Amino acid sequence: MVRYHSTRDNLNIKTASQAILQGLSEDGGLFVPDSIPPLPYTISDMTSMSYQDIAKAVFKEYLSDFTDEEIEYCVDSAYDEKFSDDSIVPLSQVDGDYYMELYHGKTMAFKDIALSILPYFMKVSAKKNGIKDEIVILTATSGDTGKAALSGFSDVEGTRIIVFYPKDGVSDIQKDQMIKEPGKNTYVFGIDGNFDEAQSGVKEIFSDAVLKEKLKKEGFILSSANSINIGRLLPQIVYYINSYVSLVSFGRIKDGDEVNVCVPTGNFGNILASFYAKLMGLPIGKLVVASNENHVLSDFFKSGEYDSNREFLVTNSPSMDILVSSNLERLIFHALLGSTSQTKKYMEELSSDGKYKLPFLSMDELSDFYADYATEEETVEVIKDIYERTSYLIDTHTAVASKVVRKYKESHKDDDRVFLIASTASPFKFSDTVSKAIGIKEEECDPYNLCEKLSSYTHFEVPKPICELKEMKVVHKTTCKKEEMKEVVLNSLIK
Ligand SMILES: *Cc1c(COP(=O)(O)O)cnc(C)c1O
Q: Whose CA is nearest to atom 14 of ligand 1?
A: 319
Question: Rounded distance, CA 6 to CA 16, Å?
Answer: 12
From the CA of 398, give the closest atom in ligand 1.
11
pTM, two decimal places: 0.93
Separation between Cα atoms, residue 70 and residue 76, nearest integer Å: 10
232, 265, 275, 327: residue to mutate for ligand 1 pocket, most atoms within 8 A of CB? 265
CB atoms near residue 429 (< 10 Å): 29
Please identify, by atom number, the ligand 1 atom nearest to the C-alpha of residue 322.
8
What's the confidence (pLDDT) of residue 441?
A: 79
Q: Is the pLDDT of residue 317 over 80?
A: yes
Question: When comparing pLDDT for 421 and 447, which is higher?
Answer: 421
In angstroms, the CA 407 to CA 414 distance is 14
Closest ligand 1 atom, residue 236 Cα: 7
| Closest ligand 1 atom number to CA of residue 264 | 10
pLDDT at 326 (0 to 100): 92
What is the pLDDT at residue 479?
A: 94
Residue 342: helix, strand or coil by DSSP?
helix
* Mutation to probe ligand 1, out of 229, 320, 325, 328 (largest number of atoms < 8 A from CB): 320
The confidence score (pLDDT) of residue 446 equals: 86
- Asked whether the predicted pLDDT for residue 258 surpasses 80, the reply is yes
Average pLDDT on 49-70 reads 98
C-alpha 7/C-alpha 10 separation (Å) is 7
Measuring from each residue's beta carbon to the nearest atom of ligand 1, which residues come in under 6 Å? 109, 111, 144, 227, 264-270, 319-320, 397, 424-425
pLDDT > 80? residue 143: no
Cβ-Cβ contacts under 8 Å for 51 (sequence gap 6 or more): 79, 87, 88, 89, 238, 239, 242
Pairwise pLDDT comparison (445 vs 158), residue with the higher score = 158
What DSSP designation does 137 have? E
Query: What does the pLDDT look like over 75-128, one tens digit per residue?
Result: 999 999 999 999 999 999 999 999 999 999 999 999 999 999 999 999 999 999
- What is the 8-class DSSP label of residue 429? G
pLDDT tens string 365-380: 999 999 999 999 999 9
The upper half-sphere exposure of residue 154, i.e. CA atoms within 13 Å in the direction of its Cβ, equals 17
Instruction: Tell me which of 111, 123, 128, 180 is the catalytic residue.
Output: 111
Beta-strand relationship, 284-291 and 186-192:
unpaired
Q: What is the average pLDDT score of the chain?
A: 95
How confident is the model over 326-365, as pLDDT tens digits?
999 999 999 999 999 999 999 999 999 999 999 999 999 9
pLDDT in tens, 376-420: 999 999 999 999 999 999 999 999 999 999 999 999 999 999 999
Contact 206, 231 (CB under 8 A): no
Q: How far is CA 34 from CA 4, 12, 16, 129, in A?
A: 6, 11, 11, 21
pLDDT tens track for 155-199: 988 899 999 999 988 888 889 999 999 999 999 999 999 888 998
The share of the chain scoring above pLDDT 90, in percent, equals 87
Q: Given the DSSP bridges, would you call strands 419-423 and 159-166 parallel, antiparallel or unpaired?
A: unpaired
What value does the mean pLDDT take over residues 291-315? Answer: 96
Strand partners, 13: 5
> Going edge to edge, which strands form the sheet with 31-33?
9-14, 4-6, 31-33
Distance (angstroms) between ligand 1 centre and the Cα of 110 equals 7
Q: Select from 159, 150, 158 the least CA-distant residue to 183.
A: 150
CB crowding 360-376: b at 16 or more within 10 Å, else e: eebbeebeebbbbbbeb
Cβ burial of 174 (10 Å; 0-12, 13-18, 19+) is buried
Residue 224: per-residue pLDDT: 83
Strand duo 259-264 + 284-291: pairing: parallel
User: DSSP string of 209-259?
Assistant: HHHHHHHHHTTEEEEE-STTSHHHHHHHHHHHHHHHHHHHHTTSS-TT--E
Q: How far apart are CA 489 and CA 483, in angstroms?
A: 12
Q: Which of 102, 108, 110 to probe ligand 1 with, by most ligand atoms within 8 A of CB? A: 110
Q: Are 137 and 159 in contact (CB under 8 A)?
A: yes
pLDDT at 236 over 70: yes
Least confident of 166-175, 208-217, 230-239: 166-175
Task: State residue 334's pLDDT score.
Answer: 97
Q: Which amino acid is at 490?
A: L
> Whose C-alpha lies nearest to ligand 1, atom 1?
319
pLDDT value of position 495: 79
Residue 273 CA, closest ligand 1 atom number = 7
Ligand 1 centroid vs 423 CA: distance in angstroms? Answer: 10
pLDDT at 291 over 70: yes
Q: Taking the CA of residue 453 as centre, how many other CA atoms within 13 Å lie in the half-sphere pointing to its CB?
A: 18
Fold of the domain built from segment(s) 91-108+231-463: Rossmann fold (3.40.50)
Q: How far apart are the first and last CA of the chain?
A: 43
Q: What is the mean pLDDT of residues 240-256?
A: 98
Question: Any bridge partners for residue 369, and if so which?
Answer: 287
CA–CA gap between residue 441 and residue 427 (Å, rounded): 17
Name residue 304's amino acid. G
User: Which residue has its alpha carbon closest to ligand 1 atom 15?
Assistant: 144
Q: Are 138 and 486 in contact (CB under 8 A)?
A: no
| Nearest residue to 371 (alpha-carbon basis) of 303, 308, 294, 291 | 291
* Longest alpha-carbon distance in the chain: 64
pLDDT of residue 278: 98
- The residue ranges of every structural domain in the chain are 91-108+231-463
AA identity, residue 142: S
Q: Is 111 a catalytic residue?
A: yes
Report the alpha-carbon distance of residue 41 to residue 51 in Å, rounded.
14
